[in-house]
């Protein structure tokens, strides 16, 4: 008989929980009696994170992680099923290292700003996070804790659940976008300086000349293009807007309102939009 035939009760099926998610949440099947396991999933994930911090994500392999723990790679497979699963564990472990902003400090906008800023700074501090394949970044307990905090911040705004999800999703995309632009720009500048100066590819960025890094920034060419290559007649509105800027000197502020460089400006614009959205949606329900 058809399970969905009229008159028959339909039983809703719960979504299956994959072994990877079970390990992320520490819900592995209980082990049989015997000696206490020599390793843990958390230990393995932490060793992998430490290796990525030191040498980048390309250095992470089951063999290298096992070696750092003093075991064979086969020993790791008793706890972690695959390299992809290891990457999933690393993604959640990285979220665990980020310090959640204070739960009730300031208004909702300032708290949401701190929530977003902490995640951008976390990505910039750990650029290998952006190299993780999207399919390996699963919803573990530490990532979910950040989402829970966002809903705590938005709790009293009078928005629907879907509206709150839209805000959280928008900021999550902003975190990844700002983090990627910052990280990729720094990587490109460092690579250019190493090549220009004939330095090994593994020369730490901290050992490179800051002035050379600034000149090698891909966006550094913007002013040179405008001065030497672009014709004002072909780009009239851009040149007209730039003509209103104060002279670019070391003593003059770059913006009349003293906005900071970096990702601060973009974050404030996004928050302005969210604030307008909140006001609009709540006004409709009054």
| Ordered DSSP codes for 185-222 | HHHHHHHHHHHHHT--TT--GGGS-HHHHHHHSGGGHH
Q: Which of 118, 136, 157 is the last residue of a domain?
A: 157
Region 6-29 average pLDDT? 70
Query: Do both 143 and 236 map to the same domain?
Result: no
Region of 258 (left: φ > 0; alpha: ψ -120 to 50; beta: rest) is left
What's the mean pLDDT when you consider all of the chain?
85
| Arithmetic mean of pLDDT, 206-235 | 86
Residues 211 and 101 occupy one common structural domain? no
What does the buried/exposed string (b/e) look like for 208-235 if buried means 16 or more CB atoms within 10 Å of the residue's CB? beeeebeebeeeeeeeeeeeeeeeeeee
Tokens of 225: 């293009």
Measured distance CA(242)–CA(232) in Å, rounded: 11
Question: In whole angstroms, what is the distance from residue 232 CA to residue 230 CA?
Answer: 6
Predicted pLDDT of residue 5 = 47
CATH label of the domain that carries residue 108? 1.10.357.10
pLDDT at 259 over 50: no
Which residues have C-beta within 8 Å of that of residue 23, sequence separation ≥ 6?
Answer: 41, 79, 80, 81, 85, 89
25 and 142 within one domain: yes
- Under the banding of pLDDT at 50, 70 and 90, the label for residue 1 is very low
> Residue 62 sits in which domain range?
19-157
Distance (Å, rounded) from C-alpha 103 to C-alpha 152? 8
Q: Given 157, 183, 205, which residue is the final one in a domain?
A: 157
What is the mean predicted confidence (pLDDT) over 158-178? Answer: 95
Tell me whether residue 285 is exposed, middle or buried, using C-beta atoms within 10 angstroms of its C-beta: 0 to 12, 13 to 18, 19 or more.
Answer: exposed
- Total domains present in the chain: 2
Q: Number of helices (H) and strands (E), helices first, in the chain?
A: 12, 0
Mean pLDDT computed over 75-99: 92
The CA distance from 157 to 285, in Å, is 12
Residue ending a domain, choose from 98, 128, 157: 157
**Helix/strand/coil percent split, the chain, to 5:** 60, 0, 40
| Residue 241 domain-assigned (yes or no) | yes
Do residue 37 and residue 152 come from a single domain? yes
249 and 267 together in one domain: yes
- Examine residue 228 and state whether it is found in any structural domain, yes or no: yes
Choose between 102 and 123: higher pLDDT: 123
**Does the CA dihedral 136-140-145-148 come out positive or negative?**
positive
Overall residue count recorded for the chain in this entry: 286
Same domain, 52 and 145: yes
The secondary structure of 57-117 as a DSSP string is GGG--HHHHHHHHTS-HHHHTTT---HHHHHHHHHHHHHHHSPPPPTTSS-HHHHHHHHHH
């Amino acid at each position: 008989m058809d399970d969905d035939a009229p008159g028959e009760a339909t039983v809703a099926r719960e979504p299956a929980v994959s072994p990877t998610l079970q390990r992320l949440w520490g819900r592995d099947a209980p082990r049989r009696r015997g000696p206490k396991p020599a390793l843990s999933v958390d230990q393995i994930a932490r060793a992998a994170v430490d290796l990525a911090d030191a040498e980048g994500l390309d250095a992470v392999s089951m063999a290298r992680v096992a070696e750092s723990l003093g075991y064979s790679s086969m020993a790791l497979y008793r706890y972690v099923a695959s390299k992809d699963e290891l990457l999933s564990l690393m993604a959640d472990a990285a979220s665990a290292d980020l310090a959640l902003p204070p739960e009730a400090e300031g208004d909702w906008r300032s708290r949401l700003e701190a929530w977003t800023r902490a995640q951008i700074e976390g990505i910039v501090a750990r650029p290998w996070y952006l190299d993780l394949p999207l399919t390996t970044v699963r919803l573990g307990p530490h990532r979910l804790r950040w989402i829970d905090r966002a809903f705590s911040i938005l709790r009293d705004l009078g928005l629907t659940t879907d509206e709150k999800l839209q805000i959280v999703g928008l900021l999550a995309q902003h975190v990844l976008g700002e983090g990627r632009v910052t990280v990729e720009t720094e990587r490109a500048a460092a690579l250019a300086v190493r090549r220009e100066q004939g330095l090994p590819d593994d020369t730490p960025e901290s050992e490179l000349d800051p002035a050379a890094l600034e000149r090698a920034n891909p966006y550094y060419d913007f002013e040179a293009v405008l001065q030497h290559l672009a014709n004002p007649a072909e780009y009239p509105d851009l040149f007209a807007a730039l003509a209103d800027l104060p002279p670019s000197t070391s003593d003059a502020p770059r913006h009349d309102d003293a906005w900071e460089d970096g990702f601060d400006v973009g974050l404030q614009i996004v928050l302005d939009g969210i604030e307008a959205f909140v006001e609009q949606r709540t006004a409709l329900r009054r």
